Amino acid sequence: MSRDRRAIALYVVVFLIATAGLVYELVCGAVASYLLGDSVTHFSLVIGAYLSALGVGAYATKLVERDVAARFVDIEAATALVGGLSAPVLFLCHGKGGSFSFVLWVVVGLTGTLVGMELPLLMRLLRERVKFEDLVAKALFFDYLGALAASVLFAMVLVPTLGMIRTSLLFGVVNATVGLATTFVLDADAGSLRGPRARSAIVLAGLAALFTQSDRILAASEASLYADPVVFAAQSRYARVVLTKGEGGVSLHLDNNLQFSTADEHRYHEALVHPAVASLGRPPVTALIGGGGDGLAARELLRYPSIERVTLVDLDPGVTELARRRPELVRANAGALDDRRVTVVNTDAARFVEDDRARYDVIILDFPDPNSLSLGKLFSTRMMRATSARLADGGVIAVQSTSPFYSRASYSTVLATVRAAGLAALPYHVFLPSFGEWGFVLAKRGAIEAPRRLATAGLRSLDDEALRALFVWPADLAPLPASPNTEETQRLVRAYDREMSRYQP
């Protein structure tokens, strides 16, 4: 191979190793968020630790004085092994006696250090072929270009189609292939590379074999995450969607977070929907549901014969389609999403309420807990003001508001946010065996009073007396003084992360 062609090939190597390196970083951050909660803290700590490890690796290359080509190939094999196995190892060790955090930081540190060694060593291999100023400019250009490719591919293609385990194994294969291919590119200049070539081939074969078994690895890891057997698992564009089934019924999990159990979801959804309708003071005709892709809140609204139109806005079509086709979920939601009165819109709820011009008698905000910035914005003053603008005269909003027991400050922040948006608001709560004490906020423009009589009969958990009890607070659960959550501050996400971290292993 000519000198120029070797240089071009090595620039391609720069691009590939940069892509793989950033993918490993994103995998570690995403797995930590998936298993520990998608928080700013976890992602920022992973990124900071990884970048620091890159610096350690770059500095460590000064210790490599001889056989640079051979050491580069060995570093590629080691990076392929550690980075490629990062997601499988992290998933499999989760919940093993508190070892996850330790393993996470070991993986982040080792991967970052190895990736940090790659580019300096490769630049040393190129310096005899390229002028220094061209070398630095071109090497960094392809390095940053690879990082861009990784960031786009990870979010748009890799996680939605492959998932995190297959993604890390795939890029381990890429790293090992780069190391193996480099031995042929450098062979004429670097002497014998038989040992590094053999090691790269062994790592490549091992990772490729594991990639073919990734379904089994994922099944084993998910079996360790959930108490009940997994009956369905899939990666949507936005979340890992898992259904488990046990003696207590069927449970839906999104990114390892329990959304509901059919054993007691009726208590949650009756408390979410019926106090709002009772507070309306007239038969509801139109309703808007933000979130609620499982169709369970829609089921409760459809109990009212006066309902003519329910618009359900949920970001993830993977969830709404599952609620339409899985028999267990169709039985639970009584086929609500296929009811002619229900229109499902798969888009961002915050954008929808700002663009929509319709008015609704009842608005139900049934979003997941605010454990990320993307969810935190759904509990912001801006979102609440936009939602308020969608109310018909006398209309009512009910907001899922986290647990006033486990996350009391977060619950209080949601209540303060609703009031800061100019709405009169009442806090209320219900006990759920699957979740513990759970909180909601009822809101209106103008004055609001706690409802005393239900507008329908035949509910499983609520009657008039139980309805009134929802608004009675014991002293250790009552809301605390709090500041509202805005898109700029996102104080709700930080408060929620801080409170829930007390209950993580």
**Domain total in the chain:** 3
Q: What is residue 362's three-state secondary structure?
A: strand
372 and 254 in a common domain: no
Decide if 393 is catalytic. Answer: no
Of 224, 250, 270, which residue is a domain's last? 224
Question: Where residue 219 sits, what CATH number does that domain have?
Answer: 1.20.1250.20
How many whole angstroms separate alpha carbon 36 and alpha carbon 322?
Answer: 25
pLDDT tens-digit series, residues 91-100: 888 755 557 8
Above 80 in pLDDT, residue 300?
yes
Same domain (yes/no): 319, 244: no
Q: Which residue has the higher pLDDT, 490 or 280?
A: 280
Fill in the amino acid letter for 136.
V
| Averaged pLDDT of the chain | 90
3 state SS of 283: coil
Angle, helices 491-500 vs 40-60, to 10°: value is 80
Q: Are residues 249 and 185 in the same domain?
A: no
Residue 142 shares a structural domain with residue 286: no
Domain with residue 289: its CATH number is 3.40.50.150
Give just the sign of the alpha carbon dihedral 247, 261, 234, 204: negative
Take residue 299 and report the two structure tokens written for it.
């089921």
500: part of which helix (H) or strand (E)? helix 491-500
Residue 65, class by beta-carbon neighbours within 10 Å (0-12 exposed, 13-18 middle, 19+ buried)?
exposed
Of 318, 295, 326, 325, nearest to 159 by C-alpha is 318
Q: What is the rounded CA–CA span in Å between residue 144 and residue 322?
A: 39
Which of 176, 198, 224 is the C-terminal boundary of a domain? 224
* Average of per-residue pLDDT across 486-494: 89
3-state secondary structure of 437: strand
Spatial distance between the Cα atoms of 116 and 249, rounded to a whole number of angstroms: 48
Q: For residue 221, what pLDDT is reported?
A: 78
Pair (251, 120) in one structural domain: no
Q: What is the pLDDT of residues 95-116, one digit of tens each?
A: 555 578 889 999 999 999 999 9
**Which residue range(s) make up the domain with 90?**
3-224
SS3 state of residue 67: coil
Q: Which residue has the tokens 């040992």?
A: 195
379 with 316, same domain: the answer is: yes
CA angle 321, 233, 206 (to 5 degrees): 135
Cβ atoms of 297 and 367 closer than 8 Å: no
Tens digit of each residue's pLDDT (9 = 90 or more) over 246-294: 988 999 999 888 999 999 999 999 999 999 999 999 999 999 999 999 9
Q: What is the pLDDT of residues 57-83, one digit of tens each?
A: 999 999 988 888 889 899 999 999 999
* Gap between the Cα atoms of 480 and 459, Å rounded: 31
Is the CB of residue 360 less than 8 Å from the CB of residue 285? no
Sheet holding 249-254, edge to edge: 230-235, 240-246, 249-254, 257-261
- pLDDT confidence band for 3 (50 / 70 / 90): low
Q: What are phi and psi of 479, to 5 degrees?
A: -60, 145
User: Which of 143, 255, 294, 366 does the annotation list as catalytic?
Assistant: 366
DSSP state of 367: P
Comparing 155-164, 201-210, 242-251, 342-351, the range with the smallest average pLDDT is 155-164
Residue with tokens 């929802």: 470
What pLDDT is recorded for position 188?
47
Q: What letter would DSSP give residue 246?
A: E
Q: Does residue 226 register a pLDDT over 90?
A: no
Q: Would you tell me how many other CB atoms lie within 10 Å of the CB of residue 160?
A: 15
Looking at the structure, tell me whether residues 187 and 285 fall in a common domain: no
Residues 250, 210 within the same domain: no
Asked if residue 336 and residue 187 are part of one domain, the reply reads: no
Domain termination site, one of 238, 259, 280: 259
Residues 6+ away with beta carbon under 8 Å from 466:
none
| Residues 167-215 pLDDT 10s | 999 999 999 999 898 888 775 454 568 888 999 999 999 999 999 998 8
Q: Are residues 243 and 285 in the same domain?
A: no
User: CB under 8 Å to 20, separation ≥6 — which residues?
Assistant: 79, 83, 115, 146, 150, 171, 172, 174, 175, 178
Are 142 and 212 found together in one domain?
A: yes
- Look up residue 73 and give its two tokens: 């190939």
Alpha helices in 154-247 (DSSP H): 159-161, 163-190, 194-212, 214-225
